[in-house]
Amino acid sequence: MKIVALTGPDTAKVSLGGIVKEVSIALIDDPKVGDYVVLHVGYALAKIDEVEAERTLVLLAAEGADAIAEFSAAAEAVLAPP
Amino acid sequence: MKHLDEYRDADTARRLAGSIAREANTARRYRLMEFCGGHTHAIFRYGLGDLLPANIEMVHGPGCPVCVLPTGRLDMAIRLAQRDGVMLASYGDMLRVPGSQGQSLMKAKADGADIRMVYSTLDALKLAAANPDREVIFFAIGFETTTPPTALAVEAAAKAQLANFSVFCNHVLTPSAIAAILEAPAVRELGAVEIDGFLGPAHVSVVIGSQPYEFFAEEYRKPVAISGFEPIDILQSILMLVRQLNEGRAEVENQYIRAVTRDGNLRAKQAVSRVFELRRDFEWRGLGHIPYSALRLKDEFATFDAERRFDEPYIASEGNKACACPAILRGAKKPTDCRLFGRACTPETPLGSCMVSSEGACAAYYSYGRMRERAQ
């Protein structure tokens, strides 16, 4: 859910893939247009931390990479002509 | 969609599943409880069980607010709604839950009670403001995620002197339920299940933070991985738990670190502590009476407390005796162990709360079609 407009002191419009809804932002600090938030029963509960999200994706990208490289090397060795 | 599509990527899921399969020790079992019903549904919706080796078993926990509410409390809500001049505002998933004697909020509504479905506490406040001649009661249920919105609504009502608004409070606490599963003698007598580790809830942890789980990791030597709701989140968290168990560690790890901090949402926690205090005792479906496991309004907000305003007694009720929901909520039974599952009890004709809710384990087993053949 991305904040697309601040509509009042405690309210904002959020968009999820084009569906726009007015929600309460009373529970989060310093909401800004462009922030992604976790939404629950009409209230934003937290902002998504972009730095931590990026770190999670880096970890995920690396997961299993060694095993795939190992398998590819083993497969090449097996399939390589003598 | 940013922050969603990345966590639904099939290639990433295959790599994670590969790591889990390689690292899971075939000489042992891994019984992992996903506390939260949102996780149960994601596991079934995305077929994650098919990606896990046979010795990793996901045990479904009690983190479904609609499911753990005892029938007696629902009966109270129905009786409140039936009073003259009352309008009851409720979250939608409560409406079809069976109460005593074949009653439900939906049936009471059909019989003339004024029951309104709301998406948010803001909607309940709007109803009260627009209907000054009616007593608007908000049927407040849920864990730590729905409690801050109720707290803000009570404060807003107090500030606006909205005299016709009150809250029927049924808010409950996640750590109390986890403790009950791990140690409560009542739960042991009812039949408990051995758990090796916990998948910590996503949105609840956004509010309470990761700190409250440290006690369970230290005291009970159970690893915890707080997990987001997407399939990649869940697989990564399962891998974290497998690694902890393999290495003999019991720590709180935070996979959902993009939204969960150690301290959680201070603003939300402060709102809750301004408005609510602990109840000495609360009954849970499936877990029995758990001391200090629920909240009630503080005395300074007594006029907004529907229980004090309307003097409606609590009458314990067993509900449908054939329904295995209580044992399912403890993780002691699977939905498919219940003889009602998929036969007399389906999402269209639910006989127990676990089949009604979008977070209930029975609804998860049935809705995604993976277990329907077992019911035939």
**Residue among A45, A52, A59 whose CB faces B268 most closely:** A45
**What tens digit of pLDDT does each residue of A9-34 get?**
999 999 998 899 999 999 999 999 99
Choose among B264, B360, B373: nearest CA to B44.
Answer: B360
- Separation CA B164–CA B224 (nearest Å): 44
Q: Read off the pLDDT of each residue in B332-343 and give the average, rounded to a whole number.
A: 92
| A43 & A16 share domain | yes
Q: For this complex, say whether ipTM is above 0.85.
A: yes
A24: nearest CA in chain B? Answer: B122
**Residue among B148, B206, B257 whose CB faces A56 most closely:** B257
What pLDDT score does B184 carry?
A: 61
Number of CB atoms found within 10 A of residue A78's CB = 7
Q: Read off the pLDDT of each residue in B151-170 and give the average, rounded to a whole number.
A: 98
What pLDDT score does A82 carry?
A: 66
What pLDDT score does A79 carry?
A: 82
Number of CB atoms found within 10 A of residue B68's CB = 29
| A59 & A24 share domain | no
What length is written for chain A?
82
CATH of the domain at A5: 2.30.30.140
**Is there a contact between B232 and B17 (Cβ–Cβ < 8 Å)?**
no
Choose among B126, B135, B136: nearest CA to B89.
Answer: B136
Q: Positive or negative CA dihedral for B333, B339, B341, B345?
A: negative
Number of CB atoms found within 10 A of residue B288's CB = 17
pLDDT, averaged across chain B: 93
Angle at B260 between CA B14 and CA B287, to 5 degrees: 90
Kindly report which listed range (B135-149, B217-231, B317-331) carries the lowest average pLDDT score. B317-331
| A43 & A6 share domain | yes
- Separation CA A1–CA A21 (nearest Å): 10
Q: Chain B partners of A29 at a C-beta cutoff of 8 Å?
A: 267
Q: Is the pLDDT of residue B325 over 60?
A: yes
| A56 & A39 share domain | no
Q: Which residues have a Cβ under 8 Å from the Cβ of B138 and sit 6 or more positions away?
A: B89, B90, B118, B121, B124, B150, B153, B165, B166, B167, B168
Q: Is the pLDDT of residue A52 over 60?
A: yes
| A37 & A64 share domain | no
Kindly report which listed range (A24-33, B275-284, B367-376) carries the lowest average pLDDT score. B367-376
| A11 & A42 share domain | yes
Number of domains in chain B: 1
Q: pLDDT class for B320, splitting at 50, 70, 90? A: confident
What pLDDT score does B372 carry?
A: 65
| A42 & A62 share domain | no
Q: Read off the pLDDT of each residue in B234-258 and give the average, rounded to a whole number.
A: 97
What pLDDT score does B332 carry?
A: 86
Number of domains in chain A: 2
B203–A38 C-beta distance less than 8 A? yes
Q: Chain B partners of A25 at a C-beta cutoff of 8 Å?
A: none
What pLDDT score does A66 carry?
A: 76
| A3 & A39 share domain | yes
**Residue among A16, A29, A48 whose CB faces B258 most closely:** A48
What pLDDT score does B188 carry?
A: 61
Q: What is the domain range of residue B88?
A: 1-367
B7: nearest CA in chain A? Answer: A57
Give a yes or no: residue B227 inside a domain. yes
| A44 & A56 share domain | no
What pLDDT score does A73 carry?
A: 81
Residue labelled with tokens 């959020």: A14
What pLDDT score does B373 carry?
A: 63
Phi, psi at B23, each rounded to 5°: -90, -20
What pLDDT score does B190 carry?
A: 60
| A27 & A17 share domain | yes
Q: Chain A partners of B146 at a C-beta cutoff of 8 Å?
A: 40-41
Q: pLDDT class for B66, splitting at 50, 70, 90? A: very high
* Most confident range, picked from A28-37, A56-65, B178-187: A28-37
Share of residues in chain B with pLDDT > 70 (%):
96
Which residue type does B277 have? E
| A41 & A59 share domain | no
Q: Is the pLDDT of residue B155 over 80?
A: yes
| A42 & A55 share domain | no
Give a yes or no: residue B376 inside a domain. no
Chain A contact for B246 (CB, 8 A cutoff): no
- Cα–Cα distances in angstroms (integers) from residue B199 to residues B54, B73, B248, B358, B375, in the given order: 18, 28, 17, 19, 28
Q: Is the pLDDT of residue A71 over 80?
A: no
pLDDT, averaged across chain A: 91
Q: Read off the pLDDT of each residue in B226-245 and give the average, rounded to a whole number.
A: 97
CATH of the domain at B138: 3.40.50.11740
Q: Read off the pLDDT of each residue in B77-100 and give the average, rounded to a whole number.
A: 96
Q: What is the domain range of residue A26?
A: 1-48
- Cα–Cα distances in angstroms (integers) from residue B279 to residues B108, B171, B214, B309, in the given order: 29, 10, 23, 17
